[in-house]
Amino acid sequence: MVLSDHYLTFVKDQVELLAKVFAHVDVYVRYHPVTEISRVFPTPRLKAFRKDSLIDRTNMPESVSIHPVSLFYLPCDHQFKRIGERHYNAVEDRLQKSRVYPDLIHAHFIWPNGFVGAMLKKEYGIPFVVTAHGYDIYDLPFRDAEWKERIEATLNAADVVITVSNSNRECVERLNVTAPVKVVPNGFRHDQFYPMETELCRKNLNLPIDRKIILSVGNLVEVKGHTYLIDAMSEVVRERMDVLCLIVGRGELKHRLEKKISSLGLEQYVRLVGGKPHNEMPLWMNASDVFVLPSLRESFGIVQVEAMACGKPVVATKNGGSEEIVIPGKTGLLCDVADPRGLAESILRALDTPWDTNAIVKGSRLYSWESIRKDILSVYSDLI
C-alpha cells in the first residue's frame, strides 16, 4: 500500500517502477474536495489538482489500483493538525470493506500520510515505511511542541524512515527518533529526460533562437525564491541584453511577481509561462542554456537533476538539497540564498562557461530511477 498527496510525479514514477515486483499495489491519494470546483470554474491552478487529474494511469501497470481520499480542511495550521485521524478513518474503512490487507505500507510525507501508516501498523501489525520529503521534516516538527510530538511519534512507529537528502536526515537527528533512517533520493526518468537538439525544442515551444534562455521551474510560492531571481535578472540585463528568463509554474505569487517584473521594466527579459505538464518539461529543459533553482529551502529538488540529465548546467542556491547534487565548476554553480547580486553573477558566469555536456549528464545518472530502485527494494525486502 502507498499513501501519498496528490499522486506527485516522483511518487507515481516510483510506484510504476516498483509495482513490477508486487502482485498488487493500492495507492491511496489524498486530495482536497474544493478542487472539484474546477469542473464549474475551470481555472488552471485548480484543474491540476482535480480528482480526475490526480488519477493519472499513464504507463501504470494494471496491478496498480488508485483510491482517491477526499479530505476537506481549512488552510490553517490548526485544521491541518486535525486531518490525520479523519484520513486514517477513511483509509481503514476501505480496508475493512475490501477485507484485503497489504503486506507493506509505504507512506510519502510524515503528515498526515505517515500518521495513517503508523495507525495501520498499530492496528494490523503491517510493516511500515515512511518517506520524509521536505517541509514535513524541516518545518512541521519545529513549529511547536504539539507538532514535534506528532512527527516524532509517527517516525518512531516506522520500521524504516527514508528521507531524500542528508540535510533532511540532520533534521531527523535533531528529533527524538530511534527508528533507522536511510537516505534515498528521488529519481528521474532517463527515458524522458535526455539531451535533445536545443533549436528544435525552441521551435516546438515557439521560443526565440537568438537569445540565451535561463529556465526556472517551481511553484510560485515564497520558498522557491523567484522574487530574488527577478531581482537578479535586473542585474543580468545590465551586463547583457540577449537573455530571456522563463519561469515555469503556477501559484499564489503570480500577480505579485508580474508586478515586480513590470516595475523593474523586465517584460522583455522575464516571462511567467504558467504551469506545464510534466511530460512537456524535457522540451523546456532542452530549450534552455542554463537552469536556475533560486529556492530559499529545498530538500532535494528533482527539477535540477532533470535539467542535468538534459545536459544543462544548474545555478542553484545553497538551499540544503542542491549542495548534495550540484558540483561547482563541473555540473553547475552554487550561490547564497536570498542574494540577487550573487545569483546574477553566477548566472552570468554560467552563460559564459564552456560546459562539458557529457559530464553534466553523467552527474545525473546517480539519480535515475533504475539506480534508486534497488535501494528502495532493499528496504522492502528486509521487512517482508
Dihedral sign (CA 189, 195, 197, 198): positive
Look at the alpha carbons of 350, 192, 46, 25 in this order and tell me if their dihedral is positive or negative. negative
Q: Which CATH class is domain 2-187+368-383?
A: alpha beta
- Is the domain 198-367 a CATH 3.30.559.10 member? no
Q: Where are the domains of the chain?
A: 2-187+368-383, 198-367
Q: What is the pLDDT of residues 148-207, one digit of tens each?
A: 999 999 999 999 999 999 999 999 999 999 999 999 999 999 999 999 999 999 999 999
CB-based contacts of 149, cutoff 8 Å, min separation 6: none
Task: Look up residue 353 and give its three cell numbers.
Answer: 562557461
Q: Which strands, in side-by-side order, build the sheet including 270-274? A: 270-274, 243-248, 212-217, 290-293, 314-317, 332-335
pLDDT tens digits, one per residue of 116-144: 999 999 999 999 999 999 999 999 999 99
Tens-place pLDDT, residues 225-236: 999 999 999 999
pTM over 0.85: yes
- CB of 86 within 8 A of CB of 111? no
DSSP 176: -
Residue 320 per-residue DSSP state: B
Strands 64-70 and 25-31: parallel
Q: Give the cell for residue 213.
A: 534562455
What does the pLDDT profile of the chain (384 residues) look like in tens digits? 999 876 678 898 899 889 989 999 999 998 877 544 434 434 444 444 444 445 566 778 889 999 998 888 887 888 889 899 999 999 999 999 988 899 999 999 999 999 999 999 999 999 999 999 999 999 999 999 999 999 999 999 999 999 999 999 999 999 999 999 999 999 999 999 999 999 999 999 999 999 999 999 999 999 999 999 999 999 999 999 999 999 999 999 999 999 999 999 999 999 999 999 999 999 999 999 999 999 999 999 999 999 999 999 999 999 999 999 999 999 999 999 999 999 999 999 999 999 999 999 999 999 999 889 999 999 999 998
